């Protein structure tokens, strides 16, 4: 074939065409004429083949270019739709869905983008068609038979395109889900196999995996070509209920994630706003009611840090202190207060915002006057007051009484335990030993 192309390239096709017409008209089929006619026919076949291949190549480039644009449109729509769907489920949207979706669609998967795979199929198809046309035309194969071969080959290519589309849709959807999970603070997800899933996917159905280790083909869809399985965010049922309750009270998912991060952190990280710091008191430290009027965010952070450190030493105190609020009455810098009203007990810590703003001077003055033992700022004051809370806790615990029970049949026991606590049965022992 290469030799034929080389020889054909040297011919003046038009001159040979005129000569061929003359030979036919004069029926001059000498040995030389026959040789030249054979070469002419071969030349025309070769050039017809090259022309046909070039025309088909142009049509394929145009067709695959349209296919790439179509794929990109469909895949981008799927990514945007998945972002919106997850926002409806998880509660947080992304500011620029289109930009994020485009990045997902054009990302590499197993060392190739969807566009790379489309053009790979184009190259494969072009090479196979070239071979088929070469064989058919040079051998003079029946056009109908050639057309049958072409239809079959294009059918295979269509199947490849459909398979690629289904697989890429699954990949795009999975990546959009992963980004939504990360944005909304979910650390785990559940694999969801389709009802008639293959053995590979059925083996993963219902299992939990870490979002940061989410990998299509390993523990997320697509596990294989044409995979239609999916994933869903996973959260411990108790945490999930707490999150929903937080949202119902006006909190945001972003604030919830920050609180979770703080809860899991070994050290307290100062929060930026008073609202965030107040939410930390309620949602991490377990305080039911908070009123911090007059305090700065730095002062609230000091209260949070102090209670966190104390609760790490005495975890039984967490959730025992029901309220933290500011108060300028009574002349106290801070005070632990317990109240008994109609059988119901409440506990709270009161802080004086004026004294907290000048805590070093207040502490120095009180120590010098002999009212206080030396203390380290706000944390020292909070430790002293939680010492009284610990005394009350131990008093009730010793008697086997739940201070926050509201059942009438325990009213007498609660009252007696309250009197014992106010009398200071454990005060000297607990405060001197622990503080």
192 in the same domain as 130:
no
111 in the same domain as 71:
yes
Better-predicted residue by pLDDT, 219 or 92? 219
Strand order in the sheet with 230-234: 208-210, 188-192, 230-234
Considering only CA atoms, which of 253, 75, 69 is closest in space to residue 176? 75
Q: Give bridge partners of residue 337 from the DSSP assignment.
A: 348
**Confidence band, pLDDT 50/70/90 cuts, at residue 257:** confident
In a domain, 143, yes or no: yes
pLDDT value at residue 399: 84
The span from the CA of 134 to the CA of 139, in Å, is 8
Is pLDDT at 381 greater than 90 in this prediction?
A: yes
Is pLDDT at 358 greater than 70 in this prediction?
A: yes
Considering only CA atoms, which of 250, 249, 296, 256 is closest in space to residue 274? 296
In a domain, 77, yes or no: yes
Is pLDDT at 350 greater than 90 in this prediction?
A: yes
160 in the same domain as 124:
yes
Instruction: For tokens 């945490």, name the residue.
Output: 239
Is pLDDT at 419 greater than 50 in this prediction?
A: yes
Is pLDDT at 370 greater than 80 in this prediction?
A: yes
273 in the same domain as 197:
no
% of the chain residues with pLDDT over 90: 14
**Confidence band, pLDDT 50/70/90 cuts, at residue 409:** confident
Interval 217-243 mean pLDDT: 80
Considering only CA atoms, which of 416, 425, 419, 358 is closest in space to residue 390? 425
48 in the same domain as 177:
yes
Interval 157-178 mean pLDDT: 71
pLDDT value at residue 200: 87
Better-predicted residue by pLDDT, 140 or 224? 224
Is pLDDT at 405 greater than 90 in this prediction?
A: no
Q: CB-hemisphere CA count at 13 Å for 231? A: 36
Q: Does pTM surpass 0.85?
A: no
Q: Which of 234, 259, 294 is the last residue of a domain?
A: 234
Query: How far does CA 279 lie from the centroid of its chain?
Result: 24
Of 45-59, 110-124, 173-187, the range with the highest mean pLDDT is: 173-187
Considering only CA atoms, which of 339, 340, 338, 316 is closest in space to residue 410? 340
Prior bond of 222 cis (ω within 30°): yes
| Encoded tokens for 31 | 């040995």
Interval 40-57 mean pLDDT: 56
164 in the same domain as 197:
no
Interval 58-77 mean pLDDT: 62
In a domain, 259, yes or no: no
**Number of domain units in the chain:** 3
| Encoded tokens for 2 | 């290469």
pLDDT value at residue 303: 94
The span from the CA of 239 to the CA of 249, in Å, is 15
In a domain, 321, yes or no: yes
The span from the CA of 52 to the CA of 64, in Å, is 18
Interval 188-205 mean pLDDT: 85
The span from the CA of 408 to the CA of 296, in Å, is 42
In a domain, 414, yes or no: yes
> Which residues are CB-contacts of 369 (< 8 A; sequence separation ≥ 6)?
none
158 in the same domain as 178:
yes
What is 182-238 written as a DSSP string? HHTT--EEEEE--TT--HHHHTTTT-EEEGGG--BTTTBS-SSTT---EEEEE--HH
Q: How far is CA 346 from CA 5, 276, 338, 392, in A?
A: 99, 25, 6, 12
314 in the same domain as 368:
yes
pLDDT tens digits, 261-300: 766 677 788 888 999 899 889 888 889 899 999 999 999 9
Interval 366-381 mean pLDDT: 88
The span from the CA of 178 to the CA of 215, in Å, is 10
198 in the same domain as 286:
no
Better-predicted residue by pLDDT, 426 or 211? 211
Q: CB-hemisphere CA count at 13 Å for 43? A: 19
Interval 221-235 mean pLDDT: 83
Is pLDDT at 357 greater than 90 in this prediction?
A: yes
| Encoded tokens for 51 | 């022309």
Angle, helices 31-90 vs 13-26, to 10°: value is 130
The span from the CA of 142 to the CA of 144, in Å, is 5
The span from the CA of 74 to the CA of 55, in Å, is 29
Q: What's the whole-number average pLDDT of the chain?
A: 73
In a domain, 240, yes or no: no
In a domain, 359, yes or no: yes
Q: Which of 143, 162, 184 is the last residue of a domain?
A: 184
**Confidence band, pLDDT 50/70/90 cuts, at residue 403:** confident
Is pLDDT at 244 greater than 90 in this prediction?
A: no
321 in the same domain as 301:
yes
In a domain, 54, yes or no: yes
Q: Which of 184, 212, 244 is the last residue of a domain?
A: 184
The span from the CA of 407 to the CA of 387, in Å, is 28
| Encoded tokens for 132 | 């088929």
The whole domain housing 395 covers: 267-434
305 in the same domain as 350:
yes
Is pLDDT at 62 greater than 60 in this prediction?
A: no
190 in the same domain as 180:
no
Lowest mean per-residue pLDDT among 125-134, 399-408, 425-434: 425-434
């Amino acid at each position: 074939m290469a030799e034929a192309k080389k020889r054909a390239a040297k011919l003046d096709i038009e001159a040979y065409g005129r000569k061929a017409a003359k030979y036919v008209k004069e029926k001059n089929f000498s040995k030389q004429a026959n040789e030249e006619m054979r070469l002419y026919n071969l030349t025309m076949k070769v050039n017809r083949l090259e022309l046909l291949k070039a025309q088909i190549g142009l049509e394929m480039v145009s067709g695959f270019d349209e296919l790439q644009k179509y794929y990109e449109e469909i895949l981008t729509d799927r990514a945007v739709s998945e972002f919106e769907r997850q926002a409806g489920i998880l509660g947080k949207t992304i500011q620029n869905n289109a930009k994020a979706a485009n990045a997902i669609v054009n990302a590499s998967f197993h060392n190739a983008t969807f566009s790379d795979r489309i053009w790979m199929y184009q190259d494969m198809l072009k090479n196979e068609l070239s071979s088929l046309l070469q064989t058919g035309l040079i051998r003079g194969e029946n056009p109908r038979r050639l057309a049958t071969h072409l239809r079959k080959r294009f059918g295979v290519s269509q199947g490849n395109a459909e398979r690629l589309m289904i697989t890429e849709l699954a990949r795009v959807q999975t990546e959009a889900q992963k980004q939504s999970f990360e944005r909304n603070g979910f650390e785990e997800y559940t694999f969801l196999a389709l009802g008639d899933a293959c053995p590979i996917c059925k083996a993963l159905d219902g299992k939990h995996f870490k979002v940061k280790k989410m990998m299509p083909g390993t523990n997320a869809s697509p596990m294989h070509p044409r995979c239609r399985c999916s994933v869903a965010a996973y959260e411990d049922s108790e945490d999930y209920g707490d999150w929903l309750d937080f949202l119902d009270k006006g909190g945001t998912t972003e604030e919830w994630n920050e609180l979770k991060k703080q809860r899991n952190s070994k050290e307290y990280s100062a929060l930026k706003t008073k609202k965030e710091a107040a939410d930390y008191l309620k949602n991490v430290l377990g305080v039911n009611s908070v009123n911090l009027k007059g305090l700065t965010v730095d002062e609230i952070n000091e209260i949070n840090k102090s209670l966190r450190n104390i609760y790490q030493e005495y975890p039984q105190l967490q959730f025992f202190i029901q309220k933290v609020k500011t108060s300028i009455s009574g002349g106290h810098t801070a005070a632990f207060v317990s109240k008994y009203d109609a059988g119901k007990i409440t506990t709270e810590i009161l802080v004086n915002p004026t004294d907290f703003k000048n805590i070093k001077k207040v502490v120095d003055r009180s120590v010098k006057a002999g009212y206080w033992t030396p203390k380290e700022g706000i944390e020292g004051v909070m430790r002293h007051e939680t010492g009284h809370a610990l005394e009350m806790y131990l008093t009730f615990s010793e008697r086997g009484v739940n201070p926050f029970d509201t059942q009438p049949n325990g009213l007498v026991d609660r009252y007696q335990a309250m009197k014992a606590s106010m009398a200071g049965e454990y005060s000297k022992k607990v405060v001197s030993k622990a503080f």
